[in-house]
């Protein structure tokens, strides 16, 4: 986490969310990084740690249309995308939009549903559109998905394949609060739920303007080379069966641009890459079975790779 001064607008959003979220500032910041970079987030955690509350607070803070999809084994793709129904009065089919047609979507327990329904969501994430009965419908802008999944060792789950995990800009865990934070959770639970009292900090036009500003953050050629070196090294690592794709390189650069802008910088630093690599890259790796058997994780591999690669030190400002 950076000690620099945060962009005033983004700081207001963070402070607003922290009115209902306790002790999870890094998760809030990283979620905003993904939103600003026009990416999506995968949260892997146990139920009851505040994931829904955080996404609702984020949606309220930017005055966005919030939709929640509870994934279950019997959920159909049309339950996510919407369905065309014949209207005999008009003598034509009418499209009834599903929950995917919102701005900020909480896709809860995505690994509880079938791969076919998962792919309906992931198509929307990738293409910013959905196809129903041969007709393509563009999704609203901004469009942001926060998907949650139970830890893979839970029974009755359908783990997301690597190609689909690759579509999430960031993957992170929220974790349990510490004792002081959990006592504060109890104190707040005694009162009326503060989520209902949250007011927007910016509107959707303001958010879209922020997303546009991210693209102007300067990325020096030495930083691009640093990103590619890190990603390329994951492909040849002895414990890795399949390394990160070029989408991983793009995601790391976009996340770094958003993070730099969040802290009022017009340029990306190597520190941004080092910090964000641990959230952008591990879920894109497939480890060899012997590495898993030895207890080695994808996080370990990414940390090793980052530690071994020379950090660029030349001037980074145009």
What are the pLDDT digits (tens) for 143-168?
999 998 877 656 566 778 777 888 89
What is the CATH classification number for the domain harbouring 198? 3.40.50.300
Residues 117 and 15 occupy one common structural domain: yes
For the stretch 6-38, pLDDT in tens is: 888 999 999 999 888 887 889 999 999 999 999
Domain that holds residue 125: 8-210
pLDDT over 70 (residue 51): yes
User: Does some domain include residue 316?
Assistant: no
- The shares of helix, strand and coil residues in the chain, as percent rounded to the nearest 5, are 45, 15, 35
pLDDT over 50 (residue 318): no
User: Does some domain include residue 224?
Assistant: yes
What is the CATH classification number for the domain harbouring 303? 1.10.8.80
What pLDDT does 152 receive?
61
For the stretch 97-143, pLDDT in tens is: 888 888 999 999 888 888 888 888 888 888 888 888 778 888 889 99
What pLDDT does 2 receive?
57
Residue finishing a domain among 192, 210, 228? 210
Domain count across the chain: 2
Q: How many CB atoms lie within 10 A of CB 3?
A: 5
What pLDDT does 225 receive?
96
User: Does some domain include residue 240?
Assistant: yes
Residues 168 and 153 occupy one common structural domain: yes
Write b or e for each residue in 105-128: b if 16 or more Cβ atoms lie within 10 A of its Cβ, otherwise e. bbbbbbbbbbeebbbbbbbbbeee
User: Does some domain include residue 35?
Assistant: yes
User: Does some domain include residue 194?
Assistant: yes
What average pLDDT does the chain have? 87
Whether the model clears a pTM of 0.85, i.e. scores above it, the answer is yes
The alpha carbon of 56 is separated from its chain's Cα centroid by a whole number of angstroms, namely: 14
Residues 153 and 298 occupy one common structural domain: no
User: Does some domain include residue 296?
Assistant: yes
């Amino acid at each position: 986490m950076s000690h620099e001064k945060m962009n005033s607008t983004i700081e207001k959003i963070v402070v607003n969310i922290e009115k209902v979220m306790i002790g999870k500032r890094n998760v809030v910041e990283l979620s905003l990084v993904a939103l600003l970079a026009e990416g999506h987030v995968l949260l892997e955690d146990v139920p009851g740690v505040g994931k829904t509350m955080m996404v609702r607070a984020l949606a309220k803070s930017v005055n966005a249309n919030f939709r929640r999809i509870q994934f279950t084994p019997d959920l159909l793709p049309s339950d996510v995308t919407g369905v065309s129904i014949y209207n005999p009065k008009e003598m034509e089919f009418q499209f009834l939009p599903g929950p995917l047609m919102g701005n900020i979507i909480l896709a809860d327990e995505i690994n509880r549903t079938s791969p076919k329904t998962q792919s309906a969501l992931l198509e929307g994430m990738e293409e910013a559109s959905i196809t129903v009965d041969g007709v393509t419908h563009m999704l609203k802008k901004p469009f942001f998905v926060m998907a949650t999944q139970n830890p893979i060792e839970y029974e009755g789950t359908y783990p997301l394949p690597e190609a689909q995990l690759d579509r999430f800009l960031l993957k992170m865990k929220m974790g349990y609060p510490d004792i002081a934070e959990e006592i504060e959770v109890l104190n707040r639970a005694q009162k009326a739920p503060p989520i209902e009292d949250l007011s927007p900090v910016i509107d959707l036009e303001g958010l879209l303007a922020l997303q546009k500003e991210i693209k102007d953050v300067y990325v020096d050629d030495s930083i691009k080379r640093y990103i590619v070196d890190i990603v390329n090294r994951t492909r040849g690592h002895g414990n890795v069966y399949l390394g990160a794709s070029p989408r991983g390189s793009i995601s790391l650069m976009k996340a770094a641009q958003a993070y730099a802008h969040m802290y009022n910088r017009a340029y990306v630093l190597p520190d941004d890459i080092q910090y964000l690599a641990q959230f952008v890259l591990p879920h894109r790796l497939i480890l060899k079975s012997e590495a898993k058997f030895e207890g080695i994780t994808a996080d370990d591999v990414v940390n090793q790779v980052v530690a071994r690669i020379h950090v660029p030190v030349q001037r980074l400002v145009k």
